[in-house]
Structures are given as C-alpha cells and as structure tokens.
Structure 1
Amino acid sequence: MESTQTAAVEQDEAPIPAEAIVVPERGFTINRKKALIVAAFCWIGFAIMVYAVTHGMTGNFDERGLLSYRTGEALGPSGPKLIFESVRDVTALGGVFLRNLFALVAVVALLFLKLRREAFLYAATVITGWLANTGVKLLVGRERPQIVPHLTEAGGESFPSGHSFSAAVVYIGMAIAFAALSKNHTVRYTVIGFAMALSAMVAWSRVMLGVHFPSDVTAGWLGGAGWAFLAAALFYAPAKAAADSEAGKKIGPRTP
C-alpha cells in the first residue's frame, strides 16, 4: 500500500520551487465628498420618479418601454431566442440567490486581501440597503404591469423594482469596495462604471420580461445606486472603527 501511494505522487521532473507572491499596496479610499454628490443626484432623480409615478405622469414612458421588446398580436418577445435567454440570465444576477452569493464571496475575498475596513463597509452597505429597499417598497404600493404577458414569475409590489435597487447596491457597492485595490483614478472609475452599467442591465431586463414598468426600474436603480454611494461615505468611519477593533482584527486570515 505504501509503495502504491508513493508511486502515485512521483514526478518526471523536479518540483517547481515556491515563489513569493507580492500583493500590491491597497487600502485606498474613495473620495467621500464625491460619493455624497453622486448619491445626492441619484436620490433627487429617485424623488422625481416617485412624484411622477404618484401623479400619473409616466404612462406614455411606461407603455412604450414595455412594448419595445414585444411583437405580434400575442405580444411575445421579439428577436431570436438567444436574446430572450440572455435577458433571463442577466435578470438572474439581480435575484436573491446570485446577488447574495456574490456579495458573500466579495466579503470573504476582501477579508483575504486584508481589507477588513472595506469588508465591514460593504457588508453594512448590503444589509442596510436591503432594509432601505423594503421600506421604500411601502411608499407607493403599485401593482405590477398587465400591459404585456409576464415572461417570468414575479410577486410583491412593483414600485420601485427590488431587483434594480438591490442589484445597484450589491454590484456598485462591490465595485466601490474593490476600488481600494488601486489608487489609479482611471481604474477605479472604470470598475465602478462597469458595475453601474451591469446593474442598469439587470434593471432593464425586468422591463423586457414584462414584470416592471420602466419607471419602476429607473427609480429602483437610482435609489440603489444612491444608497451604495451614500453608504460608502456615511459608514466609512464606523466600518474603520469596527475593522480596527480587537474583535475586528480577529476576523480574516492571520499574519504569520
């Protein structure tokens, strides 16, 4: 038995020597003043959408948006099946399972990179974002659209879109956290811009599937993006204090 196990690990060549992996400097912060400015613009846009929806000003915008992806008397999805499957894949990124899974993996990755401050900050952003989304849902209580057939199951209130709000919080918040890996502004803006575009795609996929009005996803995305930037500014000090505490230092890999 012993000889068999030895034979199983023999090599024709010498083992490759271990090499030290040098992790670049990290822990850079975003400009909290700029984050507050972006958050303010997003929340102003959100407030405008709430006013427009509650005063019946979005009817034409909502109808045109819902019909833009439909064709024929049955109002089925237009274009090849590949587009429809892609829309379903994109919308899944904003679903409860995948977005929470990615958020959890991101927190673990930040801890392994010894970015405890960013890990605490991101966790706080996601948790409070969920609470904020739940509260905002109660403001309007709008029913889901019935203009076109729904192409996926959806329940609950329609305004604002929970998929859109949560996707913006999770992915933009994640990009802000990982921006701490680079002090290059171009890199940071690119990462955050990509997250904003990805979350916007998740938002519009809900319209293409017929389960949300365009005004629902516009407000949801603006609210979620606004929350991600607001949390990055307001929760920075508490997250830093928690990461620097004795309990916080025990979380994550130990330094040999």
Structure 2
Amino acid sequence: MTIGVILMMVAAAVFGNLAADVVSHDDITELDAFLADWFHSHKNSVWTNPMLFITHTHDVLGVSIMASALGLYFYLKKARYWLICLVLAVPGGQLLNVLLKTIFQRARPSFDEPLLTLATYSFPSGHTLGATVFYGVLAAYLVCVVPRWKVRIPAVLGACAMVALVALSRVYLGAHYLSDVLGAMVEGCGWLAVCITSCSTLRRRRAARISE
C-alpha cells in the first residue's frame, strides 16, 4: 500500500507539472510543435499503415474488446480481485481521461492534409491512456502470478513496448502532441496505482477477516 501511495503521489506531481507547462505554453510546447511538424512531413513513409493499424486497434472499442477478453479470463480463473481491478482501471481510466480533456480543452495538431481528423480535445491522449491501463493490469497480473523472472521481465517490457507504440502512432499520425501522450502515460500509471492498491488492500482486509 505504501508503494502504491508513493506512486500515486509521484504520478500526480509529474502530471501536474506537465499540465502546467502545457497550459503556460512552456518549452515542451515548442518541442511538441517541432515533432508534430517533423512527423507530418514524413507521413507518406512505409510506417503509415502500421501506425494506422496500431492506433485503430487501440481506440475505445479495441481496448474494450481486449479488456473484455481479459476480464473473461479473470472470471474463469476466479481471480475476482483482478477482475475488479480491470473494471476500475479501464472504464474508470477512460472516464477520467474524458474529464481531464474537458478541463484542459487543448486543441489537437492542425495540418493542411491531416492523416486523421478528430473533433475531440487533445490533452491527454485517450488511446495512450487506454493502452497504459490495459497493458499495465496485464503485466501486473503476470508479475504477481508467475514466479519466474524469465516471464516477468518480458511481460513488463512487452507492456511498455506496446504503450510506447500506441503513443508513437498518435504522434506520428498527427492526432496528438508529445506532451499529450506523456501526460496520458503518467495519468495511466497513477490511476493504475490507485486501482491496484485499492484492490490489494481490499483483498488483504478480506483475508484478515476470514482468518480471525
């Protein structure tokens, strides 16, 4: 629980600083604009179709389908606390992201010939948040139930790689700025800490009551 609280506090502090930089148009917004223009100038490369595939498979529908499949697995395995954690993390994280988008109301990158045209706000990235919480729960579950480090390490690295790919696809396709995806990663990590810590505390208290 202590580790979870520390992670929540760190995530909140990092997100707050990043959000303040975005609102005040600090140095990171200059990097945002530079990277957005650079990626847009290379939009016709061989990476465009793979980036479109990654981004479309991690929209709200795609993440919901993957989360439902994982939830079914948890249900069949009778991993009730992991199922609760998943329900809190994915739908709850998406609702939190919508709230933050509404609060900050940051406009998306704008180009003459965009690859994607979206009407919603930009900060933080919903796709990146969804990937962070989904793959985060999956990696946390594997780390907890599999004792072998040969499985644990690839699970964590694989989760990080998938989140990074989704984030890259959003910046590459001109749907988000760099700070949008970074903010979503931090937001997702903080929300994961809340969900995992809460479910772990609930499980421990229930076990303590049963043993009394």
Q: How far apart in 1 are the matches of 2:161 and 2:62?
A: 18
User: Structure 1 228/45 Cα, relative in aligned 2: closer, same or farther at 3 Å?
Assistant: same
Superposition map of 1:152-167 within 5 A = 152-167=116-131
* Matching of residue 142 in structure 1 with residue 106 in structure 2: yes
* Matching of residue 184 in structure 1 with residue 154 in structure 2: no
* Matching of residue 60 in structure 1 with residue 30 in structure 2: yes
Per the TM alignment, residue 62 of structure 1 is displaced from its structure 2 partner at its CA by 0.7
Q: How far apart in 2 are the matches of 1:100 and 1:240?
A: 28
TM-score, scaled to structure 1 = 0.72
* Matching of residue 37 in structure 1 with residue 6 in structure 2: yes
Q: Aligned AA for 2:11?
A: C
Q: Aligned AA for 2:45?
A: G
- The question of whether the paired residues in 1 share the 8 Å contact of 2:74 and 2:83 is answered with yes
Moved more, 113-122 or 86-95: 113-122
User: Structure 1 194/147 Cα, relative in aligned 2: closer, same or farther at 3 Å?
Assistant: same
Q: How far apart in 1 are the matches of 2:183 and 2:113?
A: 22
- Pairwise CA RMSD of aligned residues? 2.6
Indicate the SS of the match to 1:104. helix
Q: Aligned AA for 1:133?
A: N
**Structure index of larger Rg:** 1
Q: Aligned AA for 1:55?
A: S
Q: Any gaps of 5 or more consecutive residues in structure 1?
A: 1-31, 244-256
Q: Aligned AA for 1:43?
A: A
TM-score, scaled to structure 2 = 0.85
- Which residue of the other structure, out of 151, 172, 175, is the alignment partner of 2:139? 175
* Matching of residue 79 in structure 1 with residue 49 in structure 2: no
Q: Aligned AA for 2:82?
A: E
Q: Aligned AA for 1:138?
A: T
Q: Any gaps of 5 or more consecutive residues in structure 2?
A: 208-212
Q: How far apart in 1 are the matches of 2:64 and 2:205?
A: 25
CA shift digits 1:129-172 (9 cap, x unpaired): 12221221122111111146421232211111111112211221
Per the TM alignment, residue 196 of structure 1 is displaced from its structure 2 partner at its CA by 2.3
Indicate the SS of the match to 2:14. helix
Indicate the SS of the match to 1:137. helix
Which structure has more relative contact order (CA 8 Å, sep 6+)? It is 2
Q: Which has the higher helix share?
A: 2
Indicate the SS of the match to 1:77. coil
